[in-house]
Amino acid sequence: MKSGRASRPPEPNEPLCCCEYVNRHGERSHLAACCCDCEDLDQACDRWLKREPQKADSLARVAAVVKDRLRVPWFLGAKQVDLSVVPPLILLPVLLQVASLHFLLGVAVLTALPGLVLWYYYVTHRRKGRTLFFLSLALFSLAYMYYVFLTEVLPRGDVGMVQLAVVTTGVMLTLLSLANTKRGPGYVRSHPADAHSTVTYHGKLPERDFVHSNGTCQQVLIASRPSPPGQGGGQGNSVRKNWCPVCGIVRPPRSGHCRICSACIYRLDHHCVWINSCVGQANHRSFLLTLFLFLSTSLYGISLVLRSVCPRQNVLFALFYCPGVYSQYSTALCFTCAWYSSLVTVGLLHLLVLQLINISYNVTEREARLALREKLGTSRLRGLVVDTGVYSRGFCSNWAEFLTMDVTPEPVSFSLPDLV
């Protein structure tokens, strides 16, 4: 039923209480009025009851209303909750508990779960949209595994206080490192001193920005007109490779534009859905540290769980043969969680190995993909090892550059004679 307006325009300089918010129409509203004045929902229900066809945008408008009103109380105003956060909170514990009921159910669930995650990744990747689903799944998986460890494994008496302290410390350090990674990848900002002219390009701008030659960096310039053939044409090509038409800025060497974040990133490596952010020059080292801490904690926790539920089996073979583990629900749940953690660990271990290889050759994941696509450089082990031969200066020098690179890169500015 329709009711009177439950919102009003926000008063200037009037702070919001914890349950108030400004809705998508710019009006002040309250959480208690979430079911009031739902005109879009009323119209959709009326048409459904009267068996009339829905309008083309009716479902989208209802979804927008639900998304706008789904909030939680917070300081200085209620915060909006992203709907993509909710599915992992419900599905993960339900699926793992169902998989603990029987061996065949466990095989079915643990086989279908990675497939569903990969399918959702494929859908969101094609749409180039941001989602909190993967970050929510990663954080809740870590929290739920730790909860099962405390409630099911620890009471069995096979884990000592020192081992519990090690696992707890690993979880806390992983979260702290993740928070540091989320501080930002290093966005390329426009510099006030830069005066860019409007340039019309009559061809497709290439995405490659290899402007280093023999270890020396070439100057990146902006040109207002193309150079005549044979007269400085290389400089114009360098300009076109480094100009971002979306952000309207000149990208420094090795920087790239992320279509998901809609921003240019210093030394862009890749966009990681598991942290819902890009990995760039400012957070690459902390991202690598997060992977290492998570994998170390996960492997140690899995070994403790298997020693507890399968004491007569070797840890390396307990995942594949543990007789009697499904005789009790508690041991079956611990065993299922160990298998789930192992699947996640294998996936992230592949990512860590790939990162270590790329750093050893001083190549980013973005540069490796471009090199494979354009058949540049050398590729081994079916694309696992890619050497572009552009930035690499040897194993030790590459790692020294990675470990000492600036996490707060300065914007690249140009002098007035270089700009037109």
- The catalytic residue positions are 272
CB atoms within 10 A of CB 200: 6
Of 267, 78, 280, 87, nearest in space to 182 by CA: 280
What's 128's DSSP letter? T
CA dist 229 and 239 (Å) reads 16
Q: Exposed, middle or buried by CB within 10 Å (0-12, 13-18, 19+), for 23?
A: middle
d(CA 337, CA 146): 10
245-to-223, 240, 249, 264 alpha-carbon distances in Å: 14, 10, 7, 11
355, amino acid identity:
Q
* Pairing mode of beta strands 71-72, 79-80: antiparallel
C-beta atoms surrounding 112 within 10 Å: 12
How many CB atoms lie under 10 A from the CB of residue 45? 12
State both tokens at 309: 């539920």
The helix/strand/coil state of 184 is: coil
Q: How far apart are CA 324 and CA 212, in angstroms?
A: 61
Question: Sign of torsion, CA 384 389 391 397?
Answer: positive
Q: Which residue from 184, 222, 207, 203 is spatially nearest to 254, judged by alpha carbons?
A: 207
- Is the CA virtual torsion 104, 107, 111, 112 positive or negative? positive
